[in-house]
Amino acid sequence: MINSTQVSYFELVAYFDAGLLKYLVFMALMSLYMVIVCANLFLIVIICLNRSLHEPMYLFLCSLFVNELYGSTGLFPFLLVQILSDIHTVSVPFCFLQIYCVHFYGSVEFFTLGVMSYDRYLAICYPLQYNTRMTSTKVVILTAFAWLYSVVATVVMISLSAPLPLCGNTIHKVYCDNYSIVKLSCSDTTVNNIYGLSYIFTIIVALIILILYTYMKILKVCFSGSKQTRQKAVSTCTPHLASLLNFSFGAFFEIVQSRFDMSNVPIVLRIFLSLYWLTCQPLFNPLMYGLNVSKIRIICKNLTFGKKM
């Protein structure tokens, strides 16, 4: 039996020998990572430097783009090294560092999307009172809460998992995640499971209730409002809904794959689904908002073609 003091590394067994194809995969993922970094950095700079974008909606977007950079950086460099390596192992401290990055990213992402739905609810349902209801102070408080809560929740989760005595060091994924460590434990993990479920309930269920409530109110206003109100709702809510559905899709499959036996699913598909929420969302958001939010789109066009803003 292996205990926690004997485990100095974890073995990631989801990697398989792809031969020379691994270099093509490496180049594709490297290109994807560079596009993600450039796209998110570009939009962060645009929002920060243009005073016309210093509004709640765009400040929340800036927080979202910063989180995309953080989350993708917590995965891609590690993934690229592992693809070219013949030995797929990771030290225990680095594994827990990656667990922190991945779970923190997911928490901040979903919190920010929830806060953005509340912001759109105020903008569409209370347009005349929007500036008094969504002040700059409130924006700072909501953004800070999303990040600070995620820090505390993730640190507590790791502090419960790190001391567990382990009976193995094999992780059936291409990166480290918390539940994979918990499943390796030789001891009772009731506390970990209770905390994990409460963590999921707080982040997912509570935010889903908030999002459903806000969009029910938005739909009610759209059906009873003017054509201009409906157009505003569609133009500002469509990117948010698309981003929310994209992230939820990836997170759902990640949770299912971690909690249930997926051995009958082809390994390539399992790897793709486990990486989807960490790779596609950071690319999807800047493209979706950059192309669909009129103010950002106009500024991007002006910068691209050298026109005065």
**pLDDT tier, 118 (very low <50, low <70, confident <90, very high otherwise):** very high
CA-nearest of 79, 78, 75 to 67 is 75
User: Which comes out higher in pLDDT, residue 180 or 263?
Assistant: 180
**pLDDT tier, 307 (very low <50, low <70, confident <90, very high otherwise):** low
Secondary structure (3-state) at 184:
coil
CA separation for the pair 294, 235 (Å, rounded): 8
**Sign of torsion, CA 80 81 85 89?**
negative
CA separation for the pair 160, 170 (Å, rounded): 19
Secondary structure (3-state) at 95:
helix
> Global pTM?
0.89
Question: What is the rounded average pLDDT for all residues in the chain?
Answer: 86
Res. 117: pLDDT tops 70: yes
pLDDT in tens, 20-46: 888 998 999 999 999 999 999 999 999
Residue 306's pLDDT is 61
CATH topology of domain 9-305: Rhopdopsin 7-helix transmembrane proteins (1.20.1070)
Residue 188's pLDDT is 83
pLDDT in tens, 148-160: 999 999 999 999 9
User: Which three-class secondary structure string do you get for 53-71?
Assistant: HCCHHHHHHHHHHHHHHHH
Rounded mean pLDDT of 8-21?
84
pLDDT in tens, 291-305: 777 777 777 777 766
CA separation for the pair 239, 273 (Å, rounded): 22
Would you kindly state where each structural domain of the chain is located, as residue ranges? 9-305
Helix 56-84 vs helix 92-125: crossing angle, to nearest 10: 150
